[in-house]
Each structure stands twice: as C-alpha cells, then as structure tokens.
Amino acid sequence: MESSVITIAGDLTIYNSSEVKAGIMEEIGEMGSVTIDLQQLGDIDVTGIQLLLAARKSAEQTGRPFQLLNPTPVLLEKAAKIGIDPALFQ
C-alpha cells in the first residue's frame, strides 16, 4: 500500500485553501494512506481548519488511513477558540 506525506508550509487560509484542497484530495484518491505534516504551518483560519477536518472525513469514508502530524500551537489554539476539540488534530 503506497503512502503519501503532504507538508503544509506557510499559511492555510481562505486565500489558498482551494489549491491545497485539490492537492490533498488528489492524494487521498490515489494513495493507500495520507499523512499531512503541519510542522511548517504558519497561520490558519476557519477555512483551513474545515479543510483538514474534511480531508480526514474523506479519507475515512474511502477507507484510507489518514494522519495529521506535528499540529502547531496556532492550529490547536484556533481550533479551541472556535469550539473544535484540539484533540482531533493530534
């Protein structure tokens, strides 16, 4: 089973989420498992958080293993601020 690691470098916001989404969804469709490395994530907004959760859901619906690595404090803080359990990203 092939696997893919996607590194998100820089911001993940409404301004670039559609292009990031396209890349993630392509990998979910083609690979056996997908890991998203968030170590280099800069800023993230609600759109970026929704994208990460949607990617997890999409992978689960297709039976693909999915993992988020190295969630940043910014991600965890913003998730908690909008009422999303930060544990979903760990």
Q: Give 1-47 pLDDT, tens digit per residue.
A: 688 899 999 999 999 999 999 999 998 888 788 999 999 999 999 99
Write down the pLDDT at residue 90.
Answer: 85
Share of the chain residues as helix, strand and coil, in percent rounded to the nearest 5 = 50, 25, 30
pLDDT number for residue 69: 97
Q: pTM for the whole thing?
A: 0.92
Q: Is the pLDDT of residue 78 over 70?
A: yes
CB–CB of 40/9 below 8 Å? yes
pLDDT for the residue numbered 1 = 62
Alpha helices in the chain (DSSP H): 17-30, 46-61, 73-81
45-52: average pLDDT: 97
